Amino acid sequence: MPLYEYACRKCGRAFELLVRGSETPECPHCRSSALDKLVSVAAGHVARGKESAPLEGGCGRPQCGTGGCMGMG
């Protein structure tokens, strides 16, 4: 079940919604189905190949994220 972000054209609110199969999504605030699907930013760790540089401030290990191991020997 994919999680999508939407903006309602009727009330202007933005929200996330689980969409199942051929379900028609509707705004949980005003129940309108006049929605715009938003481009969402993926959360979590970014997969990197061998050629990729680590994220700024990090060592590149998945445990580190964006610098959690900085200053550790």
pLDDT tens digits, 11-57: 999 999 988 888 899 999 999 999 999 986 665 555 555 555 544 55
What contacts 24+ positions apart, CB below 8 Å, involve 31-34? 32/8, 34/8, 34/9, 34/10
Question: For residues 7 and 46, which has the higher predicted lDDT (pLDDT)?
Answer: 7
Q: What is the pLDDT of residue 59?
A: 60
DSSP 6: E
Q: What is the pLDDT of residue 3?
A: 83
DSSP 42: P
pTM (2 d.p.): 0.52
H-helix or E-strand spanning residue 8: strand 3-8
From residue 65, how far is each of 24, 42, 60, 71, 72 by CA, in Å? 36, 14, 7, 14, 14
